[in-house]
């Protein structure tokens, strides 16, 4: 699509559909918003949409067929598993993401979930609200990050930021990545698991990484280990995770993502007081939104000028 100048909608600038329940304005752009839960409105808005600012609701070939003017799908974030990339390529629709823009928020949330699981925040929160917070049950003694070994699945920007945070509080950090690195902290996946008191997931969901942490690999973790996942739910075999938590082999988990989202209210993980949960919002900060909109608006301007698109994937 580079080199093609796209004219905006008549009188209002380029028509952008922000597929999230919030308002935003940018000079030269005609931005309309739509909740990810409102499929009827989404379908009504697609025919006039030139650029789609996509968050998490899966974007299908059928959606694209309803949008004849669509020229760019701009992922607000990094993970591409919710976009039918093959369908976009077949239809000549560019797709771009924005690596690194949510890294600080996700790294901080990963740290939060580790601490939440170690310090039994779910249990103490419930007991305190019920007027039973003191005296504390001696069985609820928590743990500290200092002195523990934390294994990071992934060697990208989020993992790098988190490594610095963890080392600052006295944890030992190991990490693994697809390509071996000449770094004393690098380990193969199986080595990493055997050494880690806490393992934190920071890899994209692909066919290669789906159920990377299955029952066999979860069993490699030391007794009482904690699993944290702020990446994609299906990187961890959820049934195996539930089994390892129920058996007592794992001491807890901190989860921002699930295999099925929105997570079902009957999911056994939600009933476990040693599991800290969030609804796929590790990225959700005002600072992240500001960075997202800056990149998204720049790519719209580039599209209108016929310049190359930043972080183009398709």
- The catalytic site residues sit at 232, 261, 280
155 token code pair: 């060697």
Taking alpha carbons only, the member of 306, 301, 305, 292 closest to residue 20 is 292
285 token code pair: 């900060």
Element (H or E) spanning 257, and its range?
Answer: none
User: What size, in residues, is the chain?
Assistant: 314
Sign (positive or negative) of CA dihedral 80, 81, 86, 91:
negative
Determine contact, residues 202/173, Cβ cutoff 8 Å: no
Q: Name the DSSP class of 299.
A: H
Cα 84 from Cα 36, distance rounded (Å): 17
Angle value at C-alpha 249, between 247 and 253, nearest 5 degrees: 100
Taking alpha carbons only, the member of 250, 208, 256, 251 closest to residue 232 is 256
Torsion of CA 236, 237, 241, 247, to 10 degrees: -150
Strand segments (E) across 59-177: 72-75, 94-96, 149-153, 172-176
Q: What DSSP string describes 31-88?
A: EEE--TT-HHHHHHHGGG-SEEEE-SS-B-HHHHHT-TT--EEEESSS--TTB-HHHH
Report the number of secondary-structure helices (H) and strands (E) in the chain: 10, 11
């Amino acid at each position: 699509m580079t080199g093609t100048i796209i004219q905006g909608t008549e009188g209002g600038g380029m028509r952008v559909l922000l597929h999230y329940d919030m308002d935003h304005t940018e000079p030269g752009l005609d931005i309309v918003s739509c909740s990810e839960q409102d499929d009827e409105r989404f379908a009504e808005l697609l025919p006039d949409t030139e650029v789609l600012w996509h968050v998490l609701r899966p974007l299908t070939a059928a959606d694209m067929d309803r949008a004849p003017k669509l020229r760019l799908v701009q992922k607000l974030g990094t993970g591409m598993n919710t976009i039918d990339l093959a369908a976009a390529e077949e239809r000549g629709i560019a797709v771009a993401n924005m690596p690194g823009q949510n890294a600080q928020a996700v790294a901080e949330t990963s740290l939060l979930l580790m601490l939440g699981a170690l310090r039994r925040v779910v249990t103490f929160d419930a007991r305190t609200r019920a007027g039973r917070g003191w005296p504390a049950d001696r069985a609820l003694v928590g743990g500290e990050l200092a002195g523990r070994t934390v294994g990071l699945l992934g060697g990208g920007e989020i993992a790098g930021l988190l490594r610095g945070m963890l080392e600052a509080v006295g944890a030992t950090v190991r990490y693994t990545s697809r390509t071996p690195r000449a770094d004393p902290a690098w380990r193969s996946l199986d080595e990493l698991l055997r050494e880690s008191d806490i393992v934190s997931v920071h890899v994209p969901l692909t066919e290669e990484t789906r159920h990377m942490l299955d029952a066999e690999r979860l069993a490699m973790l030391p007794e009482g280990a904690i699993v944290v996942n702020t990446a994609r739910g299906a990187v961890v075999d959820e049934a195996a995770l539930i089994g390892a938590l129920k058996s007592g082999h794992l001491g807890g988990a901190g989860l921002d993502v699930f295999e099925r989202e929105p997570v079902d209210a009957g999911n056994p993980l939600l009933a476990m007081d040693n599991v800290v949960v969030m609804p796929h919002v590790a990225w959700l900060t005002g600072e992240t939104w500001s960075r997202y909109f800056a990149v998204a608006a720049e790519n719209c301007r580039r599209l209108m000028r016929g310049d190359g698109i930043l972080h183009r994937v398709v």
